[in-house]
Amino acid sequence: MKKTLVAAAALTAVTGTAALAHYGMIIPSDSMVSQEDGRSVELTLSFSHPFELDGMVLETPVSFNVTHEGETSDLLGDLQAATVMDEPGFMLDYPLDRPGTYVFAMEPQPYWEPVEDSFIIHYTKTYVSAFGDDEGWDAELGLRTEIVPMSKPFGLWDGNVFQGVVKLEGAPVPNAEVEVEYYNEDGSATAPSELMITQTVKADENGVFTYAAPSSGWWGFAALNTADETMEFEGEAKAVELGAVIWVHFEDWTGE
């Protein structure tokens, strides 16, 4: 696995952004669960700066659920408190009863970010394929804001591109900016510049963006927009950042 992250090849322009971007995170133990792997998947929920492994407090989410074959089930009451990157988070061992794609989604409590003088709400999701069945890999959940995959969000080699459509209130967001960051899970990756910790791709006029991951592992994509409404903090109206976040796993290329 390549551990020094260089400028990723992409079909859209990539520009640097400031480090320490925030990400809601749902990381499964496996994105493609086979019969040999067992009949469950372990999920870790957190809020962090994933490249720096700098955790933040994740309060009990507003909602956490799974969608499979068009049916959505509430999992909020099943979450177990856990420590993730030295901060409070949650875990869940979820049983996989049937083949197909399971989409896990979280709406967190609004997070006050004093540096940005705004609240942050990241609608976060990830996709898990069970027992060799990829039916439902392009499922759209109807979240207030979400990235709908145009590439299968699992079974990707490193170097493959991932494409998605950024949506807000059900409509594509033209020219949306999407922040991209690597989950530096074992801490071994380095970046030659802080500008390369979080990269940014711009969607086209139809809200479609494209990114080629230079390394295997988990990659987070976050499309950020500002809500029409505000929230009050210490008697003042503050902006609300709505993030559509999706986590996608890329596999090590094993060919010649």
pLDDT tens digits, residue range 148-159? 999 999 999 999
At 52, give phi and psi (nearest 5°).
-80, -5
Q: What is the pLDDT of residues 1-21, one digit of tens each?
A: 444 443 333 333 343 334 468
Q: What is the pTM assigned to this prediction?
A: 0.91
Number of Cβ within 10 Å of residue 255's Cβ equals: 4
For 25, 95, 112, 170, 208, the CA distances from 28, given in Å and listed in that order, are: 10, 12, 27, 26, 25
Average pLDDT for residues 173-177, to the nearest whole number? 97
Say if CB 45 and CB 58 are below 8 A apart: yes
- pLDDT value for 13: 37
Per-residue pLDDT, 35: 84
d(CA 149, CA 154): 10
Q: What is the pLDDT of residue 37?
A: 83
Please name the residues in contact with 186: beta carbons below 8 A apart, sequence gap of 6 or more: none
Average pLDDT over residues 35-59: 94
User: What type of residue sits at position 143?
Assistant: L
pLDDT (0 to 100) of residue 171: 97
pLDDT of residue 254: 81
> Chain centroid to CA 165: how far?
14
- Give 36's pLDDT tier (boundaries 50, 70, 90): confident
Whether 15 contacts 54, CB under 8 Å:
no
| Distance, first Cα to last Cα, the chain | 14
219-237 tens-digit pLDDT? 999 999 999 999 999 999 9
Among 10-14, 61-65, 199-203, the range scoring the smallest mean pLDDT is 10-14
Rg (CA), the chain: 17
Closest CA to 151 of 68, 213, 80, 98: 213
Q: How far is CA 216 from CA 143, 164, 249, in A?
A: 28, 18, 7
pLDDT digits (tens, 9 = 90+) for 99-150: 999 999 999 999 999 999 999 999 999 999 999 999 999 999 999 999 999 9
pLDDT for the residue 20? 64
What integer pLDDT is reported at residue 228 of this predicted model?
Answer: 94
